[in-house]
Structure 1
Amino acid sequence: MAEPTSRGGMRRRQLPQGLLLALGVVATGLVLLLTVGVTKPDQAVGPTVTTTALPPPAVAPKPAVAAPVDHPDSSDVAELDEWARRLAKPTGVPRALLAAYGRAEMWMRTERPGCHLSWSTLAAIGQVQAVGSGPLPVPDPLWHSFAGRASSDGKPPDPRDLDDAAFTAARALCAGGQDLLTGQGWSTAVLGYTQSTADAHDVLAAATTYATVAPA
């Protein structure tokens, strides 16, 4: 029987089925190869890490040895200086700084009697923020809002003055009306000052240590 011919008169030869199958396998392989080469592989998904934020302190430090009673009508400089002298060695805080912190506590008893600020909180903030022998660092926004002169000499508050810096920090801590004898009140006040939960915990630890110190 004669083989069919194409329209041009030439015979159309059919490829063997085996060869067609082989060509199909090769074509499929090429497609897969090209697809793998241009397709971005799925990125490995690692385990989900849950970061738990450090909660604010839940307790307040106990008050430290109280600063002397303020005498509005008489000088209490000598009494305050003696108090600071007796605490300087056991606390490791310079005497001049202790006097500034004590003065701030004394003044806040009149200005904000419900605040119950202890000098130990001021000293602890100073320790955590690495004051050394310098004035307590007061953030600019707080300084502009609460700056106060710790002496009645008519001069403007000076952030480089130990007493002014401590007094301003005390005013900032007590400005919100919190009772710093309570955990919530202390935590709110200190977090408002430090803006750091980690620092607040460090301040709590330092203030707690100061609260255990007895005058020499």
Structure 2
Amino acid sequence: MVCGGFTCSKNALCSLNVVYMLVGLLLIVVAAWGKGFGIVSSIHIIGGVIAVGFFLLLIAIVGLIGAVHHHQVMLFFYMVILFIVFLFQFGVSCSCLAMNQGQQEKLLASSWGLMSTDTRISLEKKLDCCGLFNNTEQQREFVADMNMCPAPCKQNGSCITCGLKSLQHASEALKILGGVGLFFSFTEILGVWLAMRYRNQKDPRANPSAFL
């Protein structure tokens, strides 16, 4: 059975919003996983991804309700806000993909320097690592951190630095967030166009004499 123009638009818009809800949840979960690794949370762009994922999830729910009830006002605000979310999501996704390892190292080093001794010790114990980076620039700080490090790996003499461990997880999180966000950001333009088209169609179930 071939659906009519109104029904097809409604079904397509509902399906698209279900996808947006899943993408929003994925962005939030992956970004929260990235922030869970201590100093990775210093990459503030991951917090921006959580905000984008939350607003995408929220606007998808609004769009789904508006599509089901063919609600003119809700669909209008859905189009406007979805376009704004697209702009932010596109920018944040490009920033995630563009951030290289050198920039990540600088952010991690600056955050590590602002941490108290107790916070560093707690983080080292949690991640099972010692110190940030073992290089000539931070050698004195690294030696001091190694002396106070309570990580279990120190007993075996095979500790890796917290900087390397954090960079690994940061790179994974940024690649996933950037790739998923960038790909689905373009589908949001389709959502805006589809909502505009569906909003201007007349509901065949409505009273013909009613004002639309």
With the shorter chain as reference, the TM-score category is: under 0.3
TM-score (norm 1): 0.20
Q: Which has the larger share of helix?
A: 2
Q: Which has the higher contact order (CA 8 A, sep 6+)?
A: 2
Rg larger for: 1
TM-score (norm 2): 0.20
